[in-house]
Amino acid sequence: MNISLINIGDELLIGQVVNTNASTMSQRLTSAGMEVQRVVIIPDNGDTIRQTLIDELHRSDAVLVTGGLGPTKDDITKSTIADLFHSTLVESPVALATIRSIFERRHYELTPLNRQQALVPDCCTVIDNQVGTAPCMWFEGETINRALHLPADTRKVLVSMPGVPYEMEWLMEHDVVARLRHYFHTSHIISKNIVVQGIGESFLSDLVEPWELSLPAHLRLAYLPQAGMVKLRLTARGENADTLRHDIQNAVDGLYALAGKYIVGEDCESIPEVVASIFRRRRLTLATAESCTGGFVASRLTALAGCSEYYMGGVVSYSNDVKENTLGVNHDTLLTHGAVSEETARQMAEGVRTRLHADFGTATTGIAGPGGGTPDKPVGTVWIAVAGPQRTVTQLLQLGDDRQRTIERTTNALLSLLVKEATM
């Protein structure tokens, strides 16, 4: 069962908004055993929407559309679909009731423009969107077959959802995915991630080649390199879930035999999840001090639910004043060695560890840029430190002049170092 996604919106094509909808939708559909074979992003243009709908409905069993359902003039998805299916727009009582209740809850007046959002093509099934004012519309079977001149028994589905990520996610979770699984017969899909650290993608590929070549045909392997680590994703597809689980476990055992010493986590999507898994298992606690990463380390850690079990808190010490007063970095150290120095990083990590009563303390201090570099310490110079019960280790990074990349790579390098120190 194949799916095409169509994300509609001028804002996606001028690059003002990152299209997270495609990945969220793909993730949910993939884990429900459906395969997204194509994502198409197009502008709010009637002809383009119409032609893309036709192309993708020919190509795939189901087409999921987001965007173009707002109340403003540039939102034309609904009228384009109505036109394609030769249907007229009628007011949906379900949609109107939800819109009314949302407006009442917010104490807003219901304008005629908002009321128009309750209009839907008369050939659709309305899926009640309880978290927003744009209704979700489901089209199936005859409606599609007639418009596209397909054989009468063809089973195709078109779903139109709002582009607001939260609303789309709510609809997928509460209705659309289950409705699709019910309408189509879908096989099982099971996958497993193995996180590997300390070896580059090409060396890893050489190392595991015999294993990779011997994988059964229904198992797929993907390399997903990220800063500082490689994620291997094994995906199995078939009729029997137990068999698939067994096959994947066999493959994982084979991988451990060849590359076990580089494996730092299973089923962790990210390095913060690797950290979480280690700290939780070993009942350790953690505190962070950040200068150049400016809270990014903390925010990556606290994005995970349940982090309060091991994460005590942190200090973002942007000014030297905060480094001295809140973290206890020595005034003379800052004068002699500067804020971006091994000694400052060490004292920050040890300071936050002591003051926040944690087993491990971490620190970052550097010049994220694009300004602030000197011949001695060019932009991208970063010191990181991890202080633990036994020892404090430091590391110098040289990361170039891309600010966001320096922040992200520093965070990954720091959490990698922390993984090493906490698993020693």
Q: Exactly one of 233, 237, 245, 420 binds a second copy (CB under 8 A); which one?
A: 233
Tell me which residues in 367-386 interact with a second copy (CB under 8 A).
Answer: 368-371
Burial (CB count <10 Å: 0-12, 13-18, 19+), residue 21: buried
Q: Residue 253 CB, nearest distance to a second copy (Å)? A: 21
User: Measured from the CB atom, is 122 or 166 closer to a second copy?
Assistant: 166
User: Measured from the CB atom, is 39 or 382 closer to a second copy?
Assistant: 39
Tell me which residues in 11-50 interact with a second copy (CB under 8 A).
Answer: 11-20, 22-30, 35-43, 48
d(CA 167, CA 260): 42
Q: Residue 192 CB, nearest distance to a second copy (Å)? A: 12
Amino acid at 98: T
User: Measured from the CB atom, is 24 or 395 closer to a second copy?
Assistant: 24
Indicate if the alpha-carbon torsion angle 149, 152, 153, 159 is positive or negative.
positive
Question: Which backbone phi and psi does 26 adopt, to 5 degrees?
Answer: -60, -45
- DSSP designation for 368: -
d(CA 248, CA 3): 25
d(CA 324, CA 18): 39
Tell me which residues in 248-287 interact with a second copy (CB under 8 A).
Answer: 269
Q: Residue 407 CB, nearest distance to a second copy (Å)? A: 7
User: Measured from the CB atom, is 111 or 154 closer to a second copy?
Assistant: 111
- DSSP designation for 163: S
Tell me which residues in 84-113 interact with a second copy (CB under 8 A).
Answer: 108, 111, 113
User: Measured from the CB atom, is 13 or 241 closer to a second copy?
Assistant: 13
User: Measured from the CB atom, is 117 or 143 closer to a second copy?
Assistant: 117
d(CA 222, CA 204): 12
Q: Residue 210 CB, nearest distance to a second copy (Å)? A: 13
Count of residues binding a second copy (CB under 8 A)? 101
Give the CA dihedral 384, 386, 391, 395, nearest 10 degrees. Answer: -20
Q: Exactly one of 152, 210, 217, 306 binds a second copy (CB under 8 A); which one?
A: 306
Q: Residue 87 CB, nearest distance to a second copy (Å)? A: 25
User: Measured from the CB atom, is 71 or 141 closer to a second copy?
Assistant: 71
Inter-residue contact 183 to 138 (CB < 8 Å) = no
Tell me which residues in 135-164 interact with a second copy (CB under 8 A).
Answer: 164
User: Measured from the CB atom, is 205 or 250 closer to a second copy?
Assistant: 205
Q: Residue 219 CB, nearest distance to a second copy (Å)? A: 13
Q: Residue 23 CB, nearest distance to a second copy (Å)? A: 4
Cβ density class 2-19: b for 16+ within 10 Å, e for less: ebbbbbbbeebeeeeeeb
301 binds a second copy (CB under 8 A): yes
Tell me which residues in 161-220 interact with a second copy (CB under 8 A).
Answer: 164, 166, 169, 191, 200-203, 205-206, 212, 220
Q: Give DSSP secondary structure letters for 313-359.
A: EEEE--SHHHHHHTT---HHHHHHH-SSSHHHHHHHHHHHHHHTT-S
Burial (CB count <10 Å: 0-12, 13-18, 19+), residue 188: middle
Q: Residue 123 CB, nearest distance to a second copy (Å)? A: 26
User: Measured from the CB atom, is 301 or 349 closer to a second copy?
Assistant: 301
Q: Exactly one of 76, 96, 102, 316 binds a second copy (CB under 8 A); which one?
A: 316
Q: Exactly one of 121, 314, 366, 388 binds a second copy (CB under 8 A); which one?
A: 314
Please report, for residues 219, 382, 387, 392, the alpha-carbon distance to residue 342 in angstroms, rounded to integers and kept in the order given: 47, 9, 13, 11
Number of H helices, E strands in the chain: 18, 17
Q: Give DSSP secondary structure letters for 17-77.
A: S--HHHHHHHHHHHHTT-EEEEEEEE-S-HHHHHHHHHHHHHH-SEEEEE---SSSTT--H
**Which region among 5-13, 139-147, 239-247, 342-350 touches a second copy (by CB under 8 A)?**
5-13
List strands edge to edge, sheet with 229-238: 219-226, 229-238, 188-197, 263-266
390 binds a second copy (CB under 8 A): no
Q: Exactly one of 123, 159, 356, 415 binds a second copy (CB under 8 A); which one?
A: 356
User: Measured from the CB atom, is 77 or 143 closer to a second copy?
Assistant: 77
User: Measured from the CB atom, is 209 or 253 closer to a second copy?
Assistant: 209
Q: Exactly one of 79, 87, 114, 187 binds a second copy (CB under 8 A); which one?
A: 114
d(CA 48, CA 42): 7
319 binds a second copy (CB under 8 A): yes
